[in-house]
Every structure is written in C-alpha cells, then in structure tokens.
Structure 1
Amino acid sequence: MAKAKPRRTKHVPQRTCVGCREVLPKRSLIRLVRTPEGVKVDPTGKARGRGAYLHNQRSCWERALKGALAQALRTEISPTDREQLLAFMATLPEEEVTSQPHTESRDSGAPPG
C-alpha cells in the first residue's frame, strides 16, 4: 500500500514593520516605496523601487517617520513626501483593532468574560 503524500504548506512571505520591528505576513502590512519621484504608498505591493513595510496603525507610522523609514529606504524624505505620508497616516486607526493588542500578554491569568 502506498503512503499518502503529506500536503505541502504554501510559503507566506514575511516582512518586518519599520515602526515596531514586528515580523508579520507581507500581505498584512502597507508597503512604502522609494521612486525617482519620491516616497509613495504602494497599495499593490508591486511597484518598482526600494520598499519598506508598516502596520496600518498611527503609532508605527509616527515612529517610522522620526527616522527609521528614511533609513530603511536609504533616502531623505522630502517635506512634500512627509506631508503626503502624514495625510495618509491621518486616515489610519489610532490602534490596530485585534483581539490581542501588542502590549498585553497572552495569558493574564484572569478568566475570560
């Protein structure tokens, strides 16, 4: 009798958020790309140029815009690009809406309820 072949799991690319340094699946992050025209948000994730990734929450964007984003993209962020990124950041939620926030431990010892 032949052995059943184990199902192969699909590879999920991982990326690091520039703001908080958390490693997550690529699809759950927002890509920013350095182009000859400047730094832009890349909604498709396929634009040509050097890219960096951020969570969809303001706290990560604020930390990244202080300098980590420019370092990751290996460029200076112009004032006009910074204004565009801040305008995009204003559309994001204050904190990510998840069942497990970044700051809490998974097992607090308290019963759910």
Structure 2
Amino acid sequence: MKPRKIPMRKDIVTGEMFPKKELVRVVRDKEGNVTLDPTSKANGRGAYIGLDRDIATEAKKKRIFDKTFEVKVSDEFYDELIAYVDHQQARRELFGDN
C-alpha cells in the first residue's frame, strides 16, 4: 500500500514548511476580522503559524498579521493567539502528537 501524503504548509513567521497538523490557521474574513481557525475550514484568507510559544511572541513583536492581512490587528488577538499556542504546546507535551 502506498504511504499517504502529508500536507505541508509554510509558517509565515519562520518561513519553514511544517506538516499542517503542527500549525494553526489564522483567517481574515471579507469584513476584515482576523480570527483563529483551529478547524482550518473557515472561509477567508488564511495564514499559518507554528504551535510554538516563541513563534507566537515573535509574531506579536513583529506584528506579522498586520502586514500579512493588510489590516490593523488588536493586541488582544495576539494575546489570544499566544494563549492558544501555549495551551496546544502543553497538550502535545502531555498527550503526545495525537
């Protein structure tokens, strides 16, 4: 049996390619709202960021999503992103890669 292809996506902060499961998608919808998309199925322009707290804090420091989506993103969104990534990173350490 042929091995399954693993979908790869590019982390917009580091520029590295990662398996899609190791990233979280951030979406800008038609109204210009930027939100987290853990299901990767929401409509809108998407960008991926790694599930690493250091990458998320660097994204906040460089205001990556402001530049990527060409819209002003609030500090609260970046704080929510850091909290989500930190939580997911802790889950992976506790329960493994599933």
1:37-80 Cα offsets, whole Å, 9 max, x none, are: 5100001101011111111222111222313333333x22333x
Question: Mapping of 1:67-106 within 5 angstroms?
Answer: 67-73=63-69, 75-79=70-74, 82-93=75-86
Contact 1:17 1:53 in 2 (8 A): yes
Question: Mapping of 1:1-113 within 5 angstroms?
Answer: 7-35=1-29, 36=31, 38-65=33-60, 66-73=62-69, 75-79=70-74, 82-93=75-86
User: Radius of gyration: which is bigger?
Assistant: 1
SS at match of 2:71: coil
Q: CA deviation at 1:85?
A: 2.7
Q: Any gaps of 5 or more consecutive residues in structure 1?
A: 1-6, 99-113
Q: Any gaps of 5 or more consecutive residues in structure 2?
A: 93-98
Give percent identity, aligned residues only. 29
* Length-normalised TM-score, structure 2: 0.71
Aligned residues: 88
Say what the alpha-carbon RMSD is for the aligned residues. 2.4
